[in-house]
Amino acid sequence: MHKGYFITFEGAEGCGKSTQIRLLGEDLEKAGLSVKVSRSPGGTPVAEKIRKILKEATAGEDLEPETELLLFGACHSQMTANLIRPLLEKGVIVLSDRFCDSTLAYQGYARNLGADTVRKINSYACRGLKPDLTILLDLEVEEGLRRARERAGDALTLAADRFDSEKLSFHQAVRNAFLRLAAEEKERFAVISAKGSVEEVHLRIREEVHARLGIL
Ligand SMILES: Nc1ncnc2c1ncn2[C@@H]1O[C@H](COP(=O)(O)OP(=O)(O)O)[C@@H](O)[C@H]1O
Ligand SMILES: [Mg+2]
Pocket of ligand 1 (CB under 6 A): 11, 13-19, 147-148, 150-151, 196-198, 201
Cβ–Cβ under 8 Å, residues 162 and 111: no
Nearest-CA residue for atom 5 of ligand 1:
147
**Model pLDDT for residues 90-124, shown as the tens digit of each residue:** 999 999 999 999 999 999 999 999 999 999 999 99
Please choose from 10, 18, 19, 139 the residue to mutate so as to test ligand 1's pocket, defined by most ligand atoms within 8 A of CB. Answer: 19
Please choose from 39, 151, 193 the residue to mutate so as to test ligand 1's pocket, defined by most ligand atoms within 8 A of CB. Answer: 151
Range name among 1-5, 154-158, 177-181, 205-209 with the lowest pLDDT average:
154-158
1 CA from centroid of ligand 2 (Å): 32
**Model pLDDT for residues 145-196, shown as the tens digit of each residue:** 889 888 887 555 555 566 555 678 999 999 999 999 999 999 999 999 999 9
Residues 114-127 as b/e (b if ≥16 CB within 10 A, e otherwise) read: ebeebeebbeebbe
Per-residue confidence (pLDDT) for residue 151, from 0 to 100: 85
**Model pLDDT for residues 32-56, shown as the tens digit of each residue:** 999 999 999 999 999 999 999 999 9
Cβ–Cβ under 8 Å, residues 140 and 35: no
Q: Rounded to whole angstroms, how far apart are CA atoms 147 and 115?
A: 29
- What the chain holds in terms of domains, given with CATH numbers, is 6-213 (3.40.50.300)
pTM (two decimals): 0.94
Q: Rounded to whole angstroms, how far apart are CA atoms 147 and 167?
A: 15
Beta-sheet strand order (sheet of 6-10)? 35-39, 93-97, 6-10, 133-138, 189-193
Q: From the alpha carbon of 97, which atom of ligand 1 is closest?
A: 21
